[in-house]
Structures are given as structure tokens and as C-alpha cells.
Amino acid sequence: MTDDYRHRTTLQVRFRDIDAFGHVNNAVFFSYVELARIRYLLDVLRPDASFDRLPLILARVELDFRSPIAFGEEVTVESRIDRVGRTSFAMRHRMTAGADARLVGDVDTVLVTYDYQTARPIPVPDEWRRAFGEHEGRSLEADARPAPATAG
């Protein structure tokens, strides 16, 4: 695990994850990342036992496949929060597999905090912002990023 990724989820490839070509089906990559994302949120946010569900919607997911994954290999998904905006936050996941820990995928996601009753985005809770920042050890606010250079 690198310092850039402070959360790790390890998974075993199941036989049902394998497609007709003998490697993990591309759709399963998304399931692995989903599991890692939920594990990160539960570990970092530590919702109490009474929570019904995390008020989130996955708004964007982009996956760059780097290498196939074979049956019997162990997959590690390292996760981090890259940025927190007003009603959304961006996560990045790095997937490795096998004894050689080769890179198998890079994944970027955006999650929107969402009120299911009103069907509208809501602000990212302040306690989430604090928990993410403490876990990541750095500022995550969208406006904390350096301003783009301007021609002058």
C-alpha cells in the first residue's frame, strides 16, 4: 500500500467471476471497486448501527483496464478520496493482483450526497469532510486545489 492510498481491501477471485476467456469479466472489476468503496466509507465514516443506508448516489465511474486477472489470484483495491465539493466527492481506486502485485486497473468515481425523499443532492455533511480529511491526512476541499495558470 502506498502513502497515497491509506485504505486497502483485499478480495479473492471467485470461479463465478471468470468469463469464457478465462479471466475476470470486465463487469466484475466494477463489483470489486464497489465493495472497496463501501468498505472505505464504513471504515472511515463509521456510521452508527441505526443507519438505514448511506445517502449517496454513484454519479460517475471511469475504469482504465491495465491487465487481466486470473482465477485464484488475490486482488487488492487501494482507495482514497481525492476531492470534496459542495454536494459530491471524488474517489480514486488502484487495483493490483497476483503475487507480483501488477496493476490491473485505475478507477475514478464521483459520489453525490443525496436525499432520497426529495430526490435532490444535499451538502456533504461536515462530519464526513472532517473524517475524510483526517483519514487522508490532507485538505480535500475542491477550492483548495491550485488555481489554473492564466495567460498574462
Is 123 inside any structural domain?
yes
- Domain membership flag for residue 146: no
pTM across the whole model: 0.86
The CATH number linked to 37 is 3.10.129.10
Interval 102-121: pLDDT, tens: 999 999 999 999 999 999 99
pLDDT score of 146: 45
Q: Given this model, what pLDDT does residue 142 score?
A: 72
- Residue 149, in any domain of the structure: no
Q: Given the C-alpha cell 463465478, which residue does it identify?
A: 16
148 domain residue, yes or no? no
d(CA 81, CA 98): 25
Per residue in 122-135, pLDDT (tens digit) is 999 999 999 999 99
Give the helix ranges, DSSP H, for the chain.
Answer: 26-45, 126-136
Query: Which residue segment(s) compose the domain that 55 sits in?
Result: 7-141
* pLDDT score at 139: 87
Collect the ranges in the chain with pLDDT lower than 50.
1, 145-150, 152
**93 forms bridges with which residues in the sheet?**
79, 107
